[in-house]
Amino acid sequence: MRLLIVDDEVIIRTGLASVIAWHELGIELLQPAASAEEALARMAEERPHILMTDIRMTGRSGLELAEEGLRLLPELEVIILSGYDDFSYAQQAIRQGVTDYLLKTSKPEEIIKTVLQAKQRITERWAEKSREGQLMRENRERLFAGWIIDGDTASGHFPSFLRSDAGKEAGVVGLDDEQILRQVIILRAEGWDRSSDALLRFAVQNTLEDMLPGAIAHVEKQQIICVVSWPPVEHETTFRLESALRRVEQLLKCTLRAAVGLPMRGYADLHESYRTASAAFRYRGLMDYKVWHYEHVQDRQGGKTVLTHEEETRLGTILLDNDSVTLTTWTRELVTNLITEPEVTPESFNACLHSAVIAGHRWLTRTMRATGREEPARLEPWLPEPNAEAAELGDMLFHHLYGLMHVYHSRMGQGQAAHVQKAIGYIESSLAQDINLQQVAGHVHLHPGHLSELFKKEMGVTFGDFVTDMRIRRAMDMLAVSPAKVSEVAAISGYEDVKYFSRLFKKHTGKTPSEYREEALLFKPSGS
């Protein structure tokens, strides 16, 4: 596809000609023209498909050139170059049939995007004119998806376009076809605005096929799936692939990341290469690499799936403090620590985030109950986006926990009763730690003596008796549902001395912890 640049300023036309590697975009750059007259004299013979012209030039203007050019070549795509002062002219040009316009100050990626859009329109017109060609492309996409993605090899006839001359193009002439290594690579391209995502994938698809000898690329939803052929020297493949991807990034001003499936020597096994590439691609949010292989992740057993008791306690304290800044830090640290675990998998990562959500809901339920308030009838469920990256999931977790924190604090109100309720919330979140009146009073910004009086007035018991009652109630709840040892229940309830805990528990309940657990299990409904 041919491009002609026209501008009477030598700096502009030579700059446009040299700043972008047009040939690697599948564009043949014709010798730039210095005037509309020169361009018109050459158009009949050189027949450009895309014309990029300055709007104001000595002699005929760019608008006049566009008008004459479209008369000569009706399917010509015309892109006007303008300055800020020429905006009204550019609008007029578009009304007259000019395809698009660019400011002379546009960045290279904007110029590339505009030219590729013109190229895509031309390609689509050519396809519309050639129904046979369109059917061939549709058939090629269907065969690619069937053989590579779905593994439908029942016919036994490998698609000829995938066989092609891949080996010869890959530089492995003289080798038996079965000796050539073939791999499926799944890529994600980013860096252009959302409205241009489809165009970016189209550009990457074409550029990969031009840059990787023997490559066949296919766009499937948000991904680019590429089959590549290599000589049987496996250690060279990663270097060649990364070099090609870097060049594509430089050319298209985008960012690429790729997951590589297992290498195969037979056509029938390409679906297995796709399956392993797809499994590796699921790790894209957990990997720092630009290119990673299935072998890097296939043996991972899974990392941490639940919060520790200390992490859950820390989260409860943050939520109680209504501290959004510390909550942001906490969620980011959690995500970072999970990602850096050597055994982390997408499943274990998501499970641990879900554990944090459950911990947040558990905190809200306990704290609302402890302060005598009912839990909200309906809370927004945790529904993370299935294709979200790890960092995005971390942001979603923060917003969900922030919502729980807001629900609690929006119901706390003001006044003396609110001070007591805030104190109770703090106690509930800190039962496993040493708790004293001075500490809690400092948290709610009251004098210890004043808080003691408020506690007696609002709750009908002393501060110390209230804390003991909450600890014993927590122990009762855990003994009824948890298989944890009595010593572990004691520690979580705030008692390091298990003998003292057992005596205190019997004093309040009339039973030892073991007797209470046996009775709770005896009367537990079947199936629960």
- Please say if the pLDDT value at position 221 is more than 80: yes
Amino acid at position 178, single letter: E
- Please say if the pLDDT value at position 2 is more than 90: yes
Q: How confident is the model at residue 525 (pLDDT cuts 50, 70, 90)?
A: low
Q: What is the mean pLDDT of residues 148-171?
A: 64
| Separation of CA 161 from chain center | 33
Q: What is the mean pLDDT of residues 479-505?
A: 86
- Please say if the pLDDT value at position 415 is more than 60: no
pLDDT of 105 reads 84
Q: Return the closest-CA partner of residue 4 out of 72, 59, 58, 106.
A: 72
Q: Decide: 219 and 252 in contact? Cβ < 8 Å.
A: no
Q: Return the closest-CA partner of residue 467 out of 455, 478, 476, 479.
A: 455
In CATH terms, is domain 133-274 a member of 2.60.40? no
pLDDT of 4 reads 95
pLDDT of 335 reads 93
- For 259-286, the three-class secondary structure string (H helix, E strand, C coil) is EECCCECCHHHHHHHHHHHHHHHCCHHH
Q: 30 Cβ partners below 8 Å, 6+ apart?
A: 2, 3, 4, 5, 42, 46, 48
Q: Residue 300: count other Cβ atoms within 10 Å of its Cβ.
A: 17
Q: What is the mean pLDDT of residues 356-381?
A: 77
Domain with CATH 3.40.50.2300 in the chain: 2-128
pLDDT of 309 reads 82
- Please say if the pLDDT value at position 345 is more than 90: yes
Q: How confident is the model at residue 164 (pLDDT cuts 50, 70, 90)?
A: very low
Alpha-carbon distance of 212 to 227, in angstroms, equals 10
Q: How confident is the model at residue 71 (pLDDT cuts 50, 70, 90)?
A: confident
Structure tokens at 1: 């596809």
- Please say if the pLDDT value at position 286 is more than 60: yes
Q: Lowest-pLDDT range, 109-118, 121-130, 293-302? A: 121-130
Q: What is the mean pLDDT of residues 326-330?
A: 92
Taking each helix axis from N to C end, the angle separating 463-481 and 513-522, rounded to the nearest 10 degrees, works out to: 50
Domain with CATH 3.30.70 in the chain: 133-274
**C-alpha distances in Å from residue 130, one per residue of 51, 117, 135, 306, 526:** 24, 20, 9, 58, 70
User: At which residue do the structure tokens 């066989």 appear?
Assistant: 163
Q: What is the mean pLDDT of the chain?
A: 83
Q: What is the mean pLDDT of residues 54-71?
A: 89
Alpha-carbon distance of 202 to 197, in angstroms, equals 9
Domain with CATH 1.10.10.60 in the chain: 465-522
142: Cα within 13 Å, side-chain hemisphere:
6
pLDDT of 211 reads 82
Q: What is the mean pLDDT of residues 354-362?
A: 91
User: At which residue do the structure tokens 């630009």 appear?
Assistant: 290
pLDDT of 179 reads 67
User: At which residue do the structure tokens 């600890």 appear?
Assistant: 471
131: Cα within 13 Å, side-chain hemisphere:
0
Per the document, the length of the chain is: 528
CATH architecture of 2-128: 3-Layer(aba) Sandwich (3.40)
* Highest mean pLDDT pick, 145-154, 342-351, 481-490: 342-351
Q: Return the closest-CA partner of residue 213 out of 176, 240, 233, 177.
A: 240
Residue pLDDT, tens place only, 451-483: 888 888 878 888 888 888 888 988 888 888 777
Q: How confident is the model at residue 521 (pLDDT cuts 50, 70, 90)?
A: confident
- Please say if the pLDDT value at position 167 is more than 50: no
C-alpha angle 454-458-464 in degrees, rounded to nearest 5: 65
Q: How confident is the model at residue 215 (pLDDT cuts 50, 70, 90)?
A: confident
In CATH terms, is domain 465-522 a member of 3.40.1010.10? no
**Which position has the higher pLDDT, 244 or 138?**
244
pLDDT of 258 reads 93
- Please say if the pLDDT value at position 185 is more than 70: yes
Q: Return the closest-CA partner of residue 364 out of 331, 322, 395, 330.
A: 322
77: Cα within 13 Å, side-chain hemisphere:
19
Q: Decide: 423 and 440 in contact? Cβ < 8 Å.
A: yes
pTM reported for the whole predicted model: 0.63
pLDDT of 262 reads 92
| Separation of CA 64 from chain center | 47
Alpha-carbon distance of 345 to 286, in angstroms, equals 8
**C-alpha distances in Å from residue 272, one per residue of 141, 148, 262:** 19, 8, 8
